[in-house]
């Protein structure tokens, strides 16, 4: 009898009774892990938030791209001007800028010491026209090199013409005498010559060959080796 009872005990223990329902759980309801349908208003809010995030990311990408392009343009401009800052001039020229390979526009101006110079009368010589002003810091900074280049190429039929804008002859005379300039420098008080050459910033440089043709245009301060390199090509 004892052995039989023991077998029954083992049978009962092996079979086990089903677990009783846990308190608070409806056994007839869907599984507890099932998510209830979302409120339509919540879906709309989520959609609007997603659109806003996309717009913000797009705007950030566009802004970053614009910054990269701007910096590249600035670096390119610096490489052309030697990193020097230029002085932008008010107004816009009514004529197109000179075209490389085309004849330079003729003009006549008077230097501070009374010389009258006409561009067309300099044919047969290389000509460097440099626009500046005594009130332009960067123009003054490069003037010692301009003067040195003028002296170095004077006996090689290369002429340097200094044209100062938006100031009077007395200011140029005082500056030339104080600094010992020997290159022919005068004024363009009404910006007529600067207008003809579409000068939008100073210092500005126009290089013309012995045939009177525009060969190179530079804006901003130039390094001395750049000056010499260009003038070497202009020398007849």
Total domains in the fold of the chain: 1
Mean pLDDT for the chain? 79
- Residue 77 in any domain: the answer is no
Tokens, residue 201: 């910033």
- Residue 136 in any domain: the answer is yes
- Find the DSSP H helices in 16-165: 40-81, 137-153
Distance (Å, rounded) from C-alpha 139 to C-alpha 84?
10
Q: In angstroms, what CA-CA distances link 55 with 51, 52, 60, 66, 93? A: 6, 5, 9, 16, 40
Q: Is the pLDDT of residue 36 over 80?
A: no
Sort strands 201-202 and 204-208 into parallel, antiparallel or unpaired: unpaired
- Residue 23 in any domain: the answer is no
Q: What angle do CA 196, 197, 198 make, to 5 degrees?
A: 95
pLDDT in tens, 85-98: 677 776 656 778 89
Share of the chain above pLDDT 70, in %: 69
pLDDT at 55: 77
- Residue 145 in any domain: the answer is yes
- Residue 225 in any domain: the answer is yes
Instruction: Give residue 147's domain range.
Output: 87-234
CA gyration radius, the chain: 41
Mean pLDDT of 15-44: 53
**Could you tell me which residues come within 8 angstroms of residue 157 by beta carbon, excluding any fewer than 6 positions away?**
124, 125, 126, 210, 235, 236
- Residue 149 in any domain: the answer is yes
Q: For the domain that residue 201 is a member of, what is the CATH number?
A: 3.40.30.10
pLDDT in tens, 95-108: 788 999 999 999 99
**Could you tell me which residues come within 8 angstroms of residue 149 by beta carbon, excluding any fewer than 6 positions away?**
128, 160, 224, 227, 228, 231
Crossing angle (nearest 10°) for helices 224-234 and 137-153 = 40
Q: In angstroms, what CA-CA distances link 120 with 65, 108, 114, 209, 215? A: 47, 9, 19, 12, 16
**Could you tell me which residues come within 8 angstroms of residue 106 by beta carbon, excluding any fewer than 6 positions away?**
118, 119, 120
Q: Is the pLDDT of residue 173 over 90?
A: yes
- Residue 82 in any domain: the answer is no
Tokens, residue 127: 């000509």
Q: What DSSP state is assigned to residue 102?
A: S
Does the predicted TM-score (pTM) go above 0.95? no
pLDDT in tens, 131-141: 999 999 999 99
Question: DSSP assignment of 173-230, as one string?
Answer: HHHHHHHT--S-EEEETT-HHHHHTT--EESEEEEE-TTSBEEEEEES---HHHHHHH
- Residue 38 in any domain: the answer is no
Question: DSSP assignment of 131-171, as one string?
Answer: EE-TT-HHHHHHHHHHHHHHHHHGGGTEEEEEEEESS-HHH
């Amino acid at each position: 009898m004892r052995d039989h009872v023991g077998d029954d005990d083992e049978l009962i223990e092996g079979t086990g009774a089903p677990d009783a329902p846990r308190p608070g759980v409806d056994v007839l309801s869907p599984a507890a892990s099932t998510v209830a349908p979302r409120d339509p208003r919540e879906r709309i809010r989520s959609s609007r938030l997603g659109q806003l995030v996309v717009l913000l990311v797009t705007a950030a990408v566009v802004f970053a791209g614009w910054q990269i392009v701007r910096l590249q343009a600035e670096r390119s401009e610096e490489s052309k001007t030697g990193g020097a800052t230029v002085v932008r001039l008010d107004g816009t020229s009514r004529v197109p800028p000179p075209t490389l390979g085309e004849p330079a526009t003729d003009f006549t101006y008077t230097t501070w010491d009374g010389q009258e110079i006409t561009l067309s009368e300099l044919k047969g010589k290389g000509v460097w026209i440099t626009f500046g002003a005594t009130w332009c810091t960067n123009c003054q900074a490069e003037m010692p090199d301009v003067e040195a280049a003028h002296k170095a190429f004077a006996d090689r039929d290369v002429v340097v013409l200094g044209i100062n804008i938006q100031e009077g002859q007395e200011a140029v005379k005082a500056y030339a005498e104080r600094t010992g300039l020997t290159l022919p420098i005068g004024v363009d008080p009404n910006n007529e010559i600067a207008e003809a050459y579409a000068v939008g910033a100073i210092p500005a440089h126009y290089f013309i060959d012995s045939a009177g043709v525009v060969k190179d245009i530079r804006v901003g301060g130039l390094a001395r080796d750049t000056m010499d390199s260009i003038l070497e090509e202009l020398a007849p």
